[in-house]
A and B are shown apart, each in its own frame.
Chain A
C-alpha cells in the first residue's frame, strides 16, 4: 500500500487549476459576419425563413426557457396556418393569414443561453452564421438581453427581446436593431407605488434587499423613487450577492430597524429563497410603528411563485401579463396554449409569442425582411388585441407602452397555476416616461443607426 502524498497545497493548486479551466468562457475567434445575400444579413433565399429562438434550456431559468420555447413553437404553428390561430385572430393588424411571413414558410432553430451572456452570444452568433437566422428572440435575463441585443446590432439582424425587465435594455443600452415588448423596472415602480400607498398608507419605512446586478439596481432605483414620491422613506438598501441562497443574515438585521416594509428586488431562485426566509423569520407577524409589517416583490413570475409556495399569499408585485385576464386576446392565447400543452402560459411565454407575431406582422407590412425596413415598421406602431390592451411600440427607444398589472399572491389558490390575482390594471399613461428619463440613461442614451448587416 502506498502512503497518500496528499497535501493542502497540492489540493488547493489542483482545485484552483481545475476550477479556472472549467470557468473559462469559450473564446470566439473572429469569424466574419456571413451576410452575403442581397443588401442585408441572411436575406431568405428559398420559400422558407428561419427564426432563431435563443432561450435558457439549461441553468437556473430552464423552466422559464422551456415555457418560452413552447410559446415560440405555438407562434410558428399559428404563423404557418396550423392550430386555431391563437392571437392572430384578435390582433388588430390583419396582415397575418397563416401563410408564414411575407409568403415564406416559417422554420426555426433554437439556442441555449444558459442564462450566461457569453453562452447566449455564442448561440445567437451560431444561429445567425450557421443557420441563417433572420431574427433572434428570447431570453430570461436582462444581462443576456443586453449582450445579445448588442450582438444582433453588430450582426445586422433584428432582436426581439424575451423576458427582460431592467431599464437598461431599452434605456442606456438601447439599440436600433433591438425591440422590447416586456415592461421594465420604471413601469413596475410607477404601477406599484400608488397601490402600495393605498393599501399600506403613505407613512411607511422601506428596507430594500437588492440582487447585486444590473436588473437589481434599476429595480431598486425605480421602486425607491416611486415610493418616496408617495411619501415613503427608504431606511436602507442592501445589495445581496446573486449567488446567495440563504438570506437569513440579510433578513435578520431588518428586525433591528424601524422599517415596516421589506422590498425584495430579487428574481428567480433569489426571490424564492429571500421571501421564504423573510416569512420564516416571522416578519409578516411583526408589528412596527403600530402597523403590520409588509413584504413587496416588485417583479412577480408565476413560475417563481410556485417555488415560494404558500409564502406568496397576500404579497404585492407587478407582472407583464397574466393568463386570467379576460380580454379576447389573452383568452385566445390561453386557450391555444392550454389546449396544446395542458396548462396555462406564463408571462414569459406570452411576451415571446407576442414578439414573434409583432415581428412577422412588421415584415408583412414592410414587405421586406430587411432589418431596417422591419424596424421602421415597428417604430411607433400602435396595436391591440395581444393581451395588454392598446399598445405603442415607441420609436424613440423601442419599448412597448401598455397597461401594467399589479398582482397579489392569492389566498386560496385552486391549482398550482392559480397563484396570483390581478388587483389593478394600471393604465399606460401612469407608467409612461420621457425617452430621456434619467433612469433610462438620460439624454446620452441613443438607439444609434439601424444596421442591416451585409
Chain B
C-alpha cells in the first residue's frame, strides 16, 4: 500500500511536466495546426532562464586572499558576489538562493519573446507546407537551439538548487500512520505539482473566461467562420503560440531543482509529450492534461522492481504500450472528439 501511494506521488510530478509540455503542444496543434518538435527546446530554454538568472545574481569579482593558496600554490582568488556587497552577506545569499522562484518573473518576458520570434520568424512560413516539412524544420530548430545552449553553458548538467526552505522531504508516512521514513516526498516536488496545477488552471481559465480565449476556442473549432466574422484570428494564434512557449518555459524553470538542467533535457521530454498528446486526444486540452498525469503515474509503477521482475523491460516500453492499446480501442485518444483534426 505504501509503495502504491509513493509511486502515485512520484507519477504526479513527472506527470506535471508531461502535462504542461503537452498542454502547450496541444494549444499549438489546435490553433496553428503545426507539429512543433521544438517545443521541448522551449522547456529547456525555460530551465536555462533559471540558470542564467542564478548566474546573474551570483556575478562576483575576485579578491586575492593572501592567507590561502590555490592548487598551483599561488594566492587564492576568492569570488565575492556583488549581491553580498550590496545587500549584505545574509540577504545577498538569500536572493541568490531564491533564484529559481525569482526566475519565474525573469523568464516570462523572455519566453514570450522567444515564442513570438519563433512563430513570426520561422513557423508561420510553414503553415501551408506538408507536416513532414514542419517536423523537419522544427526538429532542426530544436537541434540548433540546444547546440546554442551547449555552446554557452557546456554539456554537463548545472546544479540549480531549490531555496533552502524547500530542501528535504515531507514524511507522508507519519501523516497516514505508517512507519516514519517509508513514504517520503521531496518538498520541491510538491511545490512543482502545485505550481503545475495553478498554471494549468490559469490556462483553462484564460481560454474559458476571457473574450480573447473565447475567440481562440472558436478559431480552433472553425477557423474559417471566425475569419469571415472579421476577426484577425492569425494574430490571436500568434499570441497563443507565445503563451504556449511561456507555459513550457515556466515548466522548465521550476523543473531545474528536480534534475540539474542540461542542453538535451528538452529532447528527453519531447517524444513522451507527443505520445501524451496523442493518447489524450489530439486537440483536446483536458485530454493532454489527463494523459500527462496518467502516463506519468503508469511510468512510475512500471519502474517498481516487483513489476520489472515479472515483466523485464516494461519500464522502458510502458508508455508506448499504453499508447498502442488506447489508440486501438479509442482511435481518437482518451478525450479526442469526432471531427477534430480528421480528414
Instruction: Point out residues on A near B: beta carbons under 8 Å.
Output: 1-8, 10-12, 14-15, 17-18, 22, 58-63, 236, 238-239, 241, 243, 245-246, 248-250, 252-253, 255-256, 269, 272-273, 276-277, 280-282, 285-288, 303-304, 306-311, 323-324, 334-335, 338-339, 344, 414-415, 417-418
Contact = CB atoms under 8 A, between A and B. Distances in A.
Given A59-B155, A309-B260, A3 B2 contact: no
A8 B332 contact: yes
B341 A4 contact: yes
A255 B182 contact: yes
Given A7-B341, A307-B260, A249 B300 contact: yes
A276 B260 contact: yes
Interface string B291-303: 0000000011101
Contacts of A335: 72
B33 A6 contact: yes
Contacts of A281: 169, 184-186
Contact of A256 (B6, B9, B155): B6
A14 B155 contact: no
B107 to A, nearest CB: 20
A277 to B, nearest CB: 8
A256 B2 CA distance: 8
5 contacts: A1-B224, A4-B33, A8-B282, A18-B135, A246-B258
Nearest to B181: A286
Nearest to A241: B316
Nearest to B331: A8
A288 B180 CA distance: 10
Contacts of B308: 238-239
A269 B169 contact: no
Nearest to B132: A14
Interface string B308-319: 100000011000
A273 B168 contact: no
B35 interface: yes
Bin chain B's interface residue count: 35 or more
Contact of A62 (B2, B13, B155, B342): B155
A243 B271 CA distance: 12
B157 A269 contact: yes
Interface in B56-90: 68, 70-72, 76
**Chain B interface mostly helix, strand, loop or mixed?**
mixed
Interface in B126-146: 128, 130-132, 135-136, 139
Given A2-B128, A15-B35, A280-B186, A7 B343 contact: yes
B169 A280 contact: yes
B14 interface: yes
Contacts of B273: none
Contacts of A6: 29, 33, 131, 282, 341
Contacts of A63: 154-156
Interface string B27-71: 001000101000000000000000000000000000000001011
A245 B44 CA distance: 13
A431 B221 CA distance: 69
Contact of A287 (B139, B181, B186): B181
A15 B29 CA distance: 14
B189 A248 contact: yes
B238 interface: no
Contacts of A15: 35, 135, 274
Contacts of A286: 181, 184
B186 A334 contact: no
Contacts of B342: 7-8
B305 A238 contact: yes
A391 B11 CA distance: 50
Contact of A246 (B6, B259, B305, B333): B259
Contact of A249 (B2, B10, B29, B156): B10
A5 B343 contact: yes
Contact of A18 (B3, B132, B181): B132
Contacts of A417: 71
B248 interface: no
B220 to A, nearest CB: 11
A414 to B, nearest CB: 7
Counting from the closest, the 5 A-B pairs by CB-CB distance are: A309-B159, A4-B33, A282-B169, A62-B155, A249-B303
B71 A344 contact: yes
Nearest to B147: A58
Interface stretch (B208-216, B239-247, B262-270): B262-270
A299 to B, nearest CB: 16
A281 B70 CA distance: 35
B161 interface: yes
Contacts of B262: 60, 269
Contacts of B154: 62-63
Contacts of A414: 68, 76
A304 B159 CA distance: 11
B14 A246 contact: yes
Contacts of B14: 246, 248-249
B3 A256 contact: yes
A82 B274 CA distance: 54
B285 interface: no
B282 A249 contact: no
B223 interface: yes
B99 interface: no
B290 interface: no
Nearest to B297: A249
Nearest to B281: A8
